[in-house]
Structure 1
């Protein structure tokens, strides 16, 4: 993958150059894991490192400065901007534990977002980038979160982000949880930041439950069931196929 720097000023690149170098070194280990065990065969052409502003106003109109398509990953390395963005998820509510977590968010937590975007390129996912990608997008998004966090974070860091997103889910499920996981992506990006992120929290926790509780930590078993659902013609919604209807009630 080529490394492309899209900043408006040389000073912005210089400010984040060391961080980006550290990320790329660490990302190679995760890339190797995906290539060995999770069918990462065709890498994106580049990672485009850019500012939050350019990522959300020029390269896309999404409110989250990280995304991927068939050819490129776009990501902002601005850790301070990510901290503010994640605290904004609270929508003005106070929760000291969650605020402390995001105010002290580590580089590793940010690196998992880069890893998430790279994981989308695994051939184990059945939908292509230019597909409509309906009926199971939650599985891909949740799996990208799970795998990147499981391999990049240490056990304590993984536990911390799980607890934070579980608590956020409880805080906002009455406001944003009145739709099925299978509706992930249906106009979700027209909502607020928190309504968008709610589907990510729920998808990650659903995949974590499937892998760790249902399959006794056997990731490949869950992928096998996912492929069976797809190869049999998607006869029922994936949430129903995995019997997850009651998971977040």
Structure 2
């Protein structure tokens, strides 16, 4: 993949050069893992490294400075900006453990976000970037977090992020949990940051449950059922097919 730097200031390029180089090298290794085990056959043409501001106001209006399309991954490597963004999603609630987690959000967790974007390009996912991706987007988004977290984080890091996002789902479920998970994608980027992230948190937790409880840790089994649901004509919502509440 080409490494494309889109910064307004030379100072920004210099400031983020080291982390972008570290991430680029690590992504090559992760790419190899996906090609070996998770049907990654083609990769984007490049990564556009940019600031949070440019990612969310110029290249896109999505309020999260990491996303991908069929050809390009856009990513802000600004760890401080990501920490502020994640603290914003708490909406002023007094959640000391979670606040401490995000105040110290690690480079390793940030790399998982980049790996998440590459994971979207796996051929194991049925829907193309060009089509309206609804009905099962929660599965793809949840899996694109589960795989890199399982493959790249330590067990302690994995358990910690699971605890944080489980608690956040509980905290915000009365406010944002009144829509079916299958509707993820119909209005994903409207509303507050917390309402947007709520669907990501519960998608990851749903996929984790499918793999670790229903399938006894067998990721391939879960993908097989997902493909069966599609091949049978998507007759019921995917959550119903998986017998999720």
> What is residue 83 of structure 1 aligned with on the other side?
83
2:14 maps to which residue? Answer: 14
Correspondences of 1:191-210 after superposition (within 5 Å): 191-210=191-210
1:39-73 residue CA offsets vs partner (Å, 9 max, x unmatched): 10110000100000000000000110010000000
Cα distance in 2 for residues equivalent to 1:118 and 1:12? 24
Corresponding residue for residue 138 of structure 1 = 138
* Contiguous gaps of at least 5 residues in structure 2: none
1:127 aligns with 2:127: yes
**Whole-Å Cα distance in 1 between the matches of residues 213 and 72 of structure 2?**
34
Measure the CA separation in 2 of the matches of 1:56 and 1:134.
23
Within 1, Cα distance between the matches of 2:138 and 2:182? 7
Q: Using the alignment, how far apart are the partners of 2:91 and 2:80 within structure 1?
A: 18
Partner of 2:70: 70
1:28 alignment counterpart? 28
Tell whether 2:117 aligns with 1:117: yes
Instruction: Give the CA deviation at 1:24.
Output: 1.3
Aligned-pair distance for 1:188?
Answer: 2.1
- Alpha-carbon deviations, 1:105-127, whole Å to 9, x = none? 11000000000000000000000
Measure the CA separation in 2 of the matches of 1:173 and 1:215.
Answer: 26
> SS in structure 2 opposite 1:48?
strand
Say which is worse superposed, 106-115 or 19-28, in terms of deviation: 19-28
Shift of 1:152: 1.2
- 2:170 matches 1:178: no
Alpha-carbon distance in 1 for matches of 2:235, 2:98? 40
Aligned to 2:219: 219
Aligned to 1:58: 58
Partner of 1:190: 190
Mean CA deviation greater in 94-103 or 20-29 = 20-29
The number of residue pairs the alignment matches comes to 245
Normalising by structure 1, report the TM-score.
0.97
State the Cα distance separating 1:26 from its structure 2 match.
1.5
1:190 Cα deviation (Å)?
1.4
CA distance in 1, matches of 2:5, 2:220: 36
Superposition deviation, residue 29 in structure 1: 1.7
User: Which deviates further from its counterpart, 78-87 or 187-196?
Assistant: 187-196
